[in-house]
Amino acid sequence: DLIVADVKNLMPGRSTVIHWHGLRQINAKFMDGVPMVTQCPITESQIFRYTFRAEEPGLDFYHSHDGLQKVDGIVGSFVIRQPRSEDPNTDEYDFDLPSHVIVIQDWYHLMADAMFPGLRFRDTEQMAASYLIQGKGRYTLSDGTLLANTPIAEFNVERGNRYVFRIVAGTCFECQYIFTIENHDFVIIGADAQSTKPYRVNSLTMSPGERYSVVVNCNKNVGAYWMQVRTVGLCNHMRAQQVAIMRYSGATGNPASATPTFDVSRVNNPGLTMSPVNSLCTAQTRRSDGPCIHDLRSARNAPSRVRNAQPDMRLVWGFGFYFFTDEELYNSGQYHRFLQSPFDPVGSTVNGVVNMFPPSPILSQFSDVPKNIICPAQGFRADTWNRQHRECVNVMKVPANSVVEIVAIDIANHDPAGISHAIHLHGYDMYVLEMGVMNGNVPFNQSYVQLMNYLNSNNRRSIPVDVVTKDTFPLTSGGYVVVRIVTDNPGYWFFHCHFAYHLDSGMSGILQVGEQNTFPSPPAGFPKCGDFLPIP
């Protein structure tokens, strides 16, 4: 299908853009929806027409990529369907209904801008107070007290059928959540936009930007069953949770079980969960807690060159924080932005750089981007990351038509209750090869060298022919994820942490695939923007 979406900005004094999360936009690079990367922001009263082909089936979604608007609710599902005869998992289910696409959002009492950069000495965290399922929910206090008996989402099924449920993590705060359905397991048949071989789990642990398609076998007694989302890991002290109902045909009223609270019970026991938060991703944790992403298998085989012992090129993304001193923080002109963490003000970084956006879109107006604001092409040595404050347009260049290995690293010591960044790359599906934890017994500059030596060795784990792909993945606290891409989609592609406040405080970069002179020209009449600096 040809998709034509006219986005009109009716917000006074604000710009916006819409990103189509999960779509590779191979033939529509200018439609990816990233301000100052692929297009100018859509200003008040303007209309921007997004036009692209629905080229690959799968579970995607759309959201604002301007500021913190996604936190405040500009998000929705986007499913590209295919004939059942072409679905590799068609024998696994009976019905795949639009009414069973579930969008989960996190919720807070304030508008998103009120928490950026945040207060210095109280309410210093950007964490969910509750959740919304299909935009609905009831707010409960941390002790379980219900404050409002507002409507909750319901999903209808018939006993004896197997249904596909498609779950979109439209969340934004630095919290993962666990999704459960009372007394029902999940058979995963899709991870992000791609089909997988079936894998049974009891629950899903999801990070912002992730999507899973699962089959639920409705073979229990006729009745109503609780569905629940509850925060896990770093945000446990918030005790945020939300419920919905899966109702069998013929059932009336509320489920027979008591409404689940944040505490684990028979109703919401996670059992073996997909992608346990901050997992060590070993064979033991797979048996005790549940599988990590690299344990899944794709429904289709990877190109043979993806499975070569070594890639054509390796790139490292080190995600971390630069901690400002008070002298820096209160000295104007030293930085462009900061984020108040529970400890100190920080700049969120990739490879020690707070990413800044250029004054003009780098894809459509490359000649208008001042070259002195782009980071050095060689980057910075890993042993200098976050030792001093650096900010520039963080462009990393790779050749086209190559196999590029990307090593995402969390620059921190492993903490089971620590931050697990959600990493998203535009324009690509990434083959997820390995996931693990850095050596926390030595300083980062030593553990980094150890990891690089391992990746360059002949002792690496073999790459399965059906290695799974994802466009968004969780990065374990103090851990690493090794992925590969085939750079068959030239252009400028944004990558970033999907926690909105980390993104807005600099934890992002731009992957340049191929040479600038090979990129297509923008569509006729494509909007332009930039600095205005006339000489007096």
Is the same domain home to 71 and 194? no
Question: Looking at the 3D structure of the chain, how many domains does it have?
Answer: 3
Is the same domain home to 192 and 111? yes
Residue whose entry in the numeric block shows the structure tokens 């963080």:
394
Contact 230, 126 (CB under 8 A): no
Is the same domain home to 353 and 223? no
1 in any annotated domain: yes
Count of residues in the chain = 536
Residue whose entry in the numeric block shows the structure tokens 């190559």:
402
Chain-centroid distance, C-alpha 470: 10
Residue whose entry in the numeric block shows the structure tokens 């795949």:
96
Cβ-based neighbour number of residue 297 at 10 Å: 17
Global confidence as pTM:
0.96
Tell me which DSSP letter residue 276 carries.
-
Alpha carbons 381 and 351: distance in angstroms, whole number: 8
Contact 528, 40 (CB under 8 A): yes
249 in any annotated domain: yes
212 in any annotated domain: yes
CA-nearest of 423, 415, 404, 424 to 512 is 404
Side-chain-facing half-sphere of 129: CA atoms under 13 Å: 12
Is the same domain home to 322 and 265? no
Is the same domain home to 322 and 348? yes
Last residue of a domain, one of 276, 296, 327: 276
- Tell me which amino acid residue 238 is: M
Is the same domain home to 498 and 367? yes
Token digits of residue 469: 């792909």
Alpha carbons 460 and 367: distance in angstroms, whole number: 43
Side-chain-facing half-sphere of 157: CA atoms under 13 Å: 30
Alpha carbons 307 and 529: distance in angstroms, whole number: 43
Is the same domain home to 110 and 64? no
Domain span including residue 45: 1-81
Is the same domain home to 439 and 406? yes
Contact 317, 485 (CB under 8 A): no
C-alpha Rg value of the chain to the nearest Å? 23
Instruction: Identify the CATH number of the domain in which residue 36 sits.
Output: 2.60.40.420
Alpha carbons 144 and 159: distance in angstroms, whole number: 31
Is the same domain home to 67 and 167? no
Q: Is 306 helix (H, G, I), strand (E, B) or coil?
A: helix
CA-nearest of 77, 240, 54, 68 to 168 is 77
Is the same domain home to 340 and 359? yes
Contact 187, 214 (CB under 8 A): yes
Last residue of a domain, one of 81, 100, 126: 81
Alpha carbons 181 and 291: distance in angstroms, whole number: 19
pLDDT in tens, the chain (536 residues): 999 999 999 999 999 999 999 999 999 999 999 999 999 999 999 999 999 999 999 999 999 999 999 999 999 999 999 999 999 999 999 999 999 999 999 999 889 998 888 776 666 678 999 999 999 999 998 777 888 889 999 999 999 999 999 999 999 998 999 999 999 999 999 999 999 999 999 999 999 999 999 999 999 999 999 999 999 999 999 999 999 999 999 999 999 999 999 999 999 999 999 999 999 999 999 999 999 999 999 999 999 999 999 999 999 999 999 999 888 888 877 788 888 887 788 999 999 999 999 999 999 999 999 999 999 999 999 999 999 999 999 999 999 999 999 999 999 999 999 999 999 999 999 999 999 999 999 999 999 999 999 999 998 989 999 999 999 999 999 999 999 999 999 999 999 999 999 999 999 999 999 999 999 999 999 999 999 999 88
Q: Residues of 51-68 as b/e, b for ≥16 C-beta within 10 angstroms?
A: ebebeebbbbbbbbbbbb
386 in any annotated domain: yes
530 in any annotated domain: no
Is the same domain home to 76 and 111? no
Q: Residues of 149-181 as b/e, b for ≥16 C-beta within 10 angstroms?
A: eeebbebebeeeebbbbbbbbbbbbbbbbbbbb
Contact 39, 30 (CB under 8 A): yes
